[in-house]
């Protein structure tokens, strides 16, 4: 019985992998809204509501290589009076037929605070897996690392990918 379950799982993964191959070809488009970047929270300590959104979108310039634009915004970031705006450019390499990808990007982050504003350039990297739920929709868990002059951030995020 256990052997049969493993065999069925292997066949399902093989079918998903074959379907995924066509999505990483030159000329295809990708839209990747991130759940970790979409947030709504309220801090009772500061009595402030925070809201943030984040998305990536782009095109495959070569087979398995995507160029992505990154945009994000967060208002009252972490319950403070800080608004954060992000704009960046990056890329991803998808290992052929598997769905595993490595990515890197450069972003400009602008913090608008009551005491003043500051702008920093940050560099990021990520490694993840595009798990195809259908022919065009993926669930994309990833680990990431962002670093700039003021901070370094390491974390886990989950996003959705839409491949056209």
| pLDDT winner (highest mean) among 16-25, 98-107, 109-118 | 98-107
Whole-structure pTM over 0.95, yes or no? no
pLDDT band at 16 (very low <50, low <70, confident <90, very high): very low
Q: Which two tokens stand for residue 59?
A: 């095109």
Residue span of the structural domain in which 12 resides: 2-163
Residue 61's contacts (CB-CB under 8 Å, 6 or more residues apart) are 26, 67
Specify the CATH number for the domain of residue 128: 2.40.160.20
Report yes or no: 159 and 34 within 8 Å, Cβ to Cβ.
yes
- Helix ranges (H only) for the chain are 2-21
Q: Is the pLDDT of residue 104 over 90?
A: yes
The structural domain count of the chain equals 1
Q: Is the dihedral of CA 86, 63, 140, 104 positive or negative?
A: negative
């Amino acid at each position: 019985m256990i052997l049969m379950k493993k065999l069925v799982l292997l066949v399902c993964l093989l079918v998903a992998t074959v379907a995924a191959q066509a999505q990483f070809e030159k000329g295809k488009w990708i839209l990747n809204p991130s759940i970790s970047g979409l947030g709504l929270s309220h801090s009772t300590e500061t009595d402030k509501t925070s809201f943030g959104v984040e998305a990536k979108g782009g095109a495959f310039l070569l087979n398995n290589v995507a160029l992505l634009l990154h945009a994000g915004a967060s208002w009252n970031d972490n319950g403070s009076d800080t608004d954060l705006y992000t704009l960046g450019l990056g890329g991803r390499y998808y290992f052929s037929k598997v769905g595993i990808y490595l990515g890197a990007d450069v972003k400009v982050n602008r913090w608008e605070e009551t005491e003043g504003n500051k702008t920093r350039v940050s560099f990021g990297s990520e490694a993840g897996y595009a798990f195809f739920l259908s022919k065009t929709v993926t669930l994309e868990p990833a680990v990431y690392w962002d670093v700039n002059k003021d901070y370094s951030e390491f974390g886990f995020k989950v996003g959705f990918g839409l491949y056209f």
